Amino acid sequence: MPPRRPGTSALRTSAPAATLAALLTTTGVAHLAVPAPFDAIVPRSLPGTPRFWTVASGVAELVVAATVAVPRTRRLGAAAAAGLFVGVFPANVKMARDWSHRSPAARAVVWGRLPLQIPLVAWALAVRRRSRV
């Protein structure tokens, strides 16, 4: 067995967090840069305008990304990420229902992505568990 290089343990624990932060940053920027597709999936039962919720969720994703990226706040950020992934699930369900008139391939994609929220939540919780602070 080769000797362990210094810092490899830290890399193993920070790489999943950095990737999670990058994903959240990408989706947060997308919400703010191209809000119309996100407006369309905001559940009508929420008070206020769809644009408010699109912007709020984009800002939340960016704030959560920042807290995940910083080791000192990573545990809190990862827990918030898990909550965020659960919180956006109704919008994903609405999108799947709204796409009932689309092609079978498009419907398969939107319905198939719903179960992917489970590994996203698990990933965030794993990052939380691995965080020391």
Per-domain residue ranges of the chain:
9-130
Q: How many other CB atoms are found less than 10 A from the CB of residue 39? A: 15
What integer pLDDT is reported at residue 132 of this predicted model?
77
Least confident stretch, 8-12, 70-74, 110-114: 8-12
Cα separations in angstroms, 123 against 32, 103, 104: 24, 31, 29
pLDDT for 1 beyond 80: no
pLDDT for 7 beyond 70: no
Q: Minimal CA–CA distance to 55: which of 84, 86, 32, 39?
A: 32
What integer pLDDT is reported at residue 94 of this predicted model?
93
pLDDT band of 3, cuts 50, 70, 90: low
Q: How many other CB atoms are found less than 10 A from the CB of residue 61? A: 24
Percent of the chain residues topping a pLDDT of 90: 86
The set of residues, in sequence order, having a beta carbon less than 8 Å from that of 22 and lying 6+ positions away, is 65
What integer pLDDT is reported at residue 13 of this predicted model?
57
47-69 per-position pLDDT tens digit: 999 999 999 999 999 999 999 99
What does the pLDDT average to over 24-32? 97
